[in-house]
Structure 1
């Protein structure tokens, strides 16, 4: 069996960072909002860094739980969530702001909801 306290701590950290991404980008409505000025580009860079860290943390979560936890929640495409980290880290100059924005607006809220569900069920 794996360390539930460690898993819950990691889930809390991931949720906190997902909330930060959501909050920081609340005034971004289209990809041009990122690219239209220096502040937008800085926000895109910092958002990508957070998303990469989140992807890495989810990989760690999967490893810590011996690949037994996330598979119980197939409604989330975990492989794609973890893959986002790889794309950001290894293909940074090819990042599409439209994809990042879609991820933030459509996928992040669902991921937060699912992680909160997991956290609650582990308590």
Structure 2
């Protein structure tokens, strides 16, 4: 992840986010792309790196794409503010290890 697609929400509060449909739509699209990419990761790689939350990502994508009327904005906010930075760090470490071996 070279580009940080979530820079536009850095200074936003949950309340601002909850009223900003355009930003929600953009975030949902970006998370769907990330989750779909995780769904395409080779099974062998996922077995080697069980710390990657691939099943959780696929589950979230299904909600975002197919059950969009029931999206929990607070969970979405937690995902972009807490979970994605953790995932980004995790992926960076895994890629660094893979590069060394």
TM-score range, shorter chain: 0.7 to 0.9
Q: Indicate yes or no: 2:35 matched with 1:55.
A: yes
Give unpaired runs (5+ residues) of structure 2: none
Distance 2:10 2:76 in 1: 13
Q: CA deviation at 1:57?
A: 0.7
Distance 1:16 1:91 in 2: 30
Q: Indicate yes or no: 2:96 matched with 1:120.
A: yes
Matches within 5 A, 1:86-105: 86-105=62-81
Per the alignment, residue 12 of structure 1 pairs with none
RMSD, matched Cα: 1.6
Per the alignment, residue 52 of structure 2 pairs with 76
Higher relative contact order structure (alpha carbons within 8 Å, sequence separation ≥ 6) = 1
Distance 1:16 1:84 in 2: 23
Q: Indicate yes or no: 2:5 matched with 1:20.
A: yes
Give unpaired runs (5+ residues) of structure 1: 1-14
TM-score by length of 1: 0.72
TM-score by length of 2: 0.86
